Amino acid sequence: MFETISVKPISGAIGAEIHDIDLAGDISDQTVEEIARAQRDHLVVFFRDQDITPTQHLAIAKRFGDILEYPLVKGLEDYPQIAPVMKLEHETTNFGGIWHSDTAYLAEPPKAAMLVARELPPYGGDTLFSNMYMAHDTLSEGMKNMLSGLRAVNSSAKADASATREDRLKTAAKLDTDDVISAIHPVVRTHPETGKKLLYVNIGHTSHFENMSEKESAPLLGYLFAHQTKPEFTCRFSWRPGSIAFWDNRACHHNPVNDYHGFKRVMHRITLAGERPV
């Protein structure tokens, strides 16, 4: 099935490790296509024992699409397209530490993200991923029919996610803290590459259904948020120096586990531009 890489699933629902590749070396077009195909099959792919510079990080990410700068926090000084994702020793809240799909409040949310481990705690700091195809497909037919006509409001100001950004916004905010970015997307979207339907709400950014109040929306959204993270839909990735995760931001959610207080964790993320959900 794959000629230039070796792909090993890490769970029955989502996630696979890709072996026999050096991302710092010359990567053929065939290898890029096979990595993209592995990601379509498993939604998130992981690489071990990679040693890449920020320049190489940008170069390999560009092979998979156009790069989108993170809208809320400044990137690295010399590499503004690379967003630092960090928690410092004295902090108790980790950046993005909640189940979410990145920047779903944009009119055209990212299609993918590539995260490189730069500095890790001695233990903890794993990342969970969940399969949104499975989240949709395991709903009852009645629920699928009801959701198929709904749209939801996604906001950068939703408290669940905004609280995780407070430490970074103190020193590296791009926008005024009162600025809010929001977008309305279908609750069930169709993946533009696979044609499969997936559940497209997330607890980090989805505030309410279109033309409904937050209070009216809360019971159903609460059910969907809990359903999306059932253990049988997920995998857990333990980071090591040289680890890289590359995920489909449309079809999976992720959640960095906040279990390493007193230690520093630094990751570098590049996001790839996507399309308007339909």
Give catalytic residue positions: 100, 102, 254, 269
Contact (Cβ atoms closer than 8 angstroms) between residue 200 and residue 277 = yes
Q: Which amino acid, 187?
A: V
Name the nearest CA neighbour of 175 among 98, 267, 103, 112.
103
Query: Is the Cβ–Cβ distance between 14 and 255 less than 8 Å?
Result: no
Q: What's phi and psi for 45, nearest 5 deg?
A: -120, 150
CA angle 255, 31, 35 (to 5 degrees): 20
Q: How many CB atoms lie within 10 A of CB 274?
A: 21
Tell the residue number behind the tokens 């090993």, with chain if given: 8
The residue assigned the tokens 């926008």 is 175
Measured CA to CA, the distance from residue 42 to residue 1 in angstroms comes to 14
b/e map 248-265, b = 16+ CB within 10 Å: bbbbbbbbbebebeeeeb
Per the listing, tokens 């809990």 go with 226
Ramachandran angles phi, psi of 18, nearest 5°: -105, 125
Residue 208: count other Cβ atoms within 10 Å of its Cβ. 19
